[in-house]
Amino acid sequence: MLNAEIVNKDEEIIKLVNEILANAVKENVSDIHVEPKETYTQVRYRLNGVLHIPEGYDKIPKKLHSYIIDRIKVLTGTMKRDVNNRPQDGKLRMKIQGEEIDFRLLILPTIFGETVNLRILKTEELFTVEGIFNGDKELVKKFYDNITKPEGMILFTGLAGSGKTNTMATAINLISDVGKKIITIENPVEFGMETITQMQVRNQVGSTSANLLSATLRADADMICISEFKDYDTALLAFESSMQGHMIFSTMLTNNAVDALFRCTHMGIKEYLSGSVLQLILNSKLAKRVCKHCKEEKKYSKASLKAIGLTDDEIRNNKFYKGKGCKKCDNTGYKGRIAIMEMLEFTTDLREAFINGADKKQITKLAKKEGVYYTHKDDAIKKLKGGFIDLETARMFTL
């Protein structure tokens, strides 16, 4: 740790910031939070979805806070050091343990100073399609068949930090080749991909999502990817472009797949437009994965397994697991996270029902009846039976 008496030595601030970042990468955390309090600064890491304070970072002297923030801004090369009263987004890349690591940053002003959230991005950790759907060949085929369609729209949805961007990047990576022109409009660009053309939104100079999309439509693209629908103009143009023969990928903040359909309406998109072009909506949530180093078979009661929806045959023909706790998982029984997925496909009957005013309950019921709604509950049960999650985690998605 840094000696509080040597505040003005740049090399010591550099050492401290490098230490915070390197330790986070070493511990395989997903996020780093540098948080100012009234009399001190605190650093927290998010590991397996849970925040904790690493040793030595609980009470960093407050006099060092502005130096830490300034150093982080310098590393991005784009953030304004003299701005501390409004949010700033950015990225930085550092070589840590011989590996190039990308971080996505968000700086927010608080009553005690600026707080920083750094998300660690690793391209090699993009999900595989087989991993997303637990090796289910039917689901993998449905996913692939939809993302390779020549026109329409596919939405990758979920809450912040749920893995929706990773899922979309996996889809892009799966279909990208030299024979296709794929253009992305991102804010910010998260994963660099050599086979596609990536553009960065820069609202301050007029390069808005809507303006970039309007220009991209003239670029003879086979597919256009928009990082997120945040405004009506971009969403409307995207849906109209899908209607005119383009394939559009985008993300949206929603709790489940059906909610995304109605979120489009709330944004001002007419039902006939969204209902006509949507091909597939995916929704991802993250769950704690049972530690593979210490997992052992767990005999759950039949009543507890039936309560989440398992049948007698499923209980009888499957083994279930729980992490015992070991050094590799810090005795928690969990190591890493796994995606719990939803997939909503569109049929003619489903489109007609939505366009004609069906509500969420009716859409859900019809989609399940037609067998085109694979839910979080379905996926959680599948991953419980596969030994990837335990019963306690499965309950979060099934009850």
- Among the three residues 121, 156, 179, which one is the final residue of a domain in this structure? 121
Low-confidence stretches of the chain (pLDDT beneath 50): 1-7, 124-125
Regarding whether 38 and 97 lie in a shared domain, the answer is: yes
pLDDT tens-digit map of 328-378: 888 999 998 888 999 999 999 999 999 999 999 999 999 999 999 999 999
Residues, the chain, total?
Answer: 399
Regarding whether 158 and 244 lie in a shared domain, the answer is: yes
273 Cβ contact list (under 8 Å, min separation 6): 239, 240, 243
Show the domain range for 54.
Answer: 10-121
366 Cβ contact list (under 8 Å, min separation 6): 349, 350, 353, 358
Helix/strand/coil (H/E/C) assignment for every residue in 94-160? EEECCEEEEEEEEEEEECCEEEEEEEEECHHHCCCHHHHCCCCHHHHHHHHHHHCCCCEEEEEEECC
Q: Distance between CA atoms of 312 and 320, rounded to whole angstroms?
A: 14
| 23 domain-assigned | yes
Q: How many CA atoms lie within 13 A of 97 on its CB side?
A: 10
| 5 domain-assigned | no
pLDDT value of residue 210: 86
264 Cβ contact list (under 8 Å, min separation 6): 235, 239, 274, 278
In what helix (H) or strand (E) does residue 214 lie, and over which residues does it extend?
helix 209-216
pTM: 0.82
pLDDT tens-digit map of 76-127: 988 999 999 999 988 898 998 888 888 989 999 999 999 999 999 765 445 6
- Only one residue has tokens 């009553």, namely 111
Per the structure, how many domains does the chain have?
2
Regarding whether 129 and 114 lie in a shared domain, the answer is: no
Regarding whether 193 and 150 lie in a shared domain, the answer is: yes
Regarding whether 171 and 56 lie in a shared domain, the answer is: no
